[in-house]
Structure 1
Amino acid sequence: MIDVELGALLADAGQAAAYFIDVRDRAAVVEAANALGYHVAEANLENADDKAALLDELAAALEFPATFGANWDALADSLGDLSWRPAPGYVLLLDHCADLREAAPADFATLLEILDEAARAHAGQGVPFWAVLPLASADA
């Protein structure tokens, strides 16, 4: 995200996906997303060391409807349809994700696949959906 003006990049639904960034760039991403009028959701994964805790944190951060089924399919469905949260674009920040990546690598890989799938689904409607995973340089 260095060579391209950040706002222009975030506005490009075709480029949206799950991306690891340096934690020092987090504030700039939030600022650019807010300037575009995007919905910014922040999930703190510091204590999410398994699938159940991860899904609970994501449901809370994105204010999923009470009908959220708390499984991978429900996460994919909910991320693919954010109609209760209308916005011109979305940025989901997954803070403190390094511990989850280490503790549950298979679940973490599934999460990344679902996030990328959601980004593709929204891109098909011309709506950017970014999943941003800030990491300290030691965690990269």
Structure 2
Amino acid sequence: MIQVFDEAPNGLQPAPHDPRMLAAGHQVAVREINFRDVHDKESLMLAFLRGLGLSQTFGRNWDALYDVLTDPESRPAKSAVLLCSYASFRKKHPHLSADLERVMLDAQATAAEAGRSLWLLLEEPDSDTRHW
């Protein structure tokens, strides 16, 4: 069975079950971005600021986000961004998510050209949870 971290990053991919444990076994640093409370570009940038542990000087624009995702000084050579509750965000905000995906996929391609790996993993809440 092929595991996501055994292959090169390839666009937005479904997160494996227990991605943090699998990532640790492959020396992949994982940062989590939660889209549950994202409703505009400002709250999107704040979600990345918090999730990536950025300083308040983060520019909060597409170029700044690209720079952060591709910066070899601040990002490990093998890293994954876990996009939590992204499907719902994408449905509610198609234009904003299209802009974000363009930036993330460009960053992923730039990382690959530099011999680095940037996985973009989609993690959704369990839809089959039991209701008691």
TM-score for both structures, normalised by structure 2:
0.83
**Alpha-carbon deviations, 1:22-76, whole Å to 9, x = none?**
x6x341x322211121210011111112211111011111112332111111111
Rate the CA distance shift 1:97–1:7 in 2: closer, same or farther, 3 A: closer
Equivalent position of 2:12 in the other structure: 19
Equivalent position of 1:59 in the other structure: 49
Separation (CA, whole Å) in 1 of partners of 2:30 and 2:44: 18
Separation (CA, whole Å) in 2 of partners of 1:58 and 1:79: 10
Output the aligned Cα RMSD. Answer: 2.1
Match of 2:113 among 124, 127, 130: 124
Match of 1:88 among 65, 77, 81: 77
Equivalent position of 2:61 in the other structure: 71
Pairing 1:97–2:95 present: no
Q: Does structure 2 retain, via aligned residues, the 8 Å contact 1:94–1:133?
A: yes
More helix by share: 1
Structure showing greater relative contact order (alpha-carbon pairs closer than 8 Å, 6 or more residues apart)? 1
Separation (CA, whole Å) in 1 of partners of 2:43 and 2:50: 11
TM-score for both structures, normalised by structure 1:
0.79
Distance apart, 1:95 and its partner CA: 0.3
Paired positions, count: 127
Rate the CA distance shift 1:73–1:6 in 2: closer, same or farther, 3 A: closer
Separation (CA, whole Å) in 2 of partners of 1:44 and 1:5: 23
Rate the CA distance shift 1:82–1:58 in 2: closer, same or farther, 3 A: farther
1:60 partner SS: helix
How many percent identity over aligned positions?
A: 25
List runs of 5+ in structure 2 lacking aligned partners: 128-132
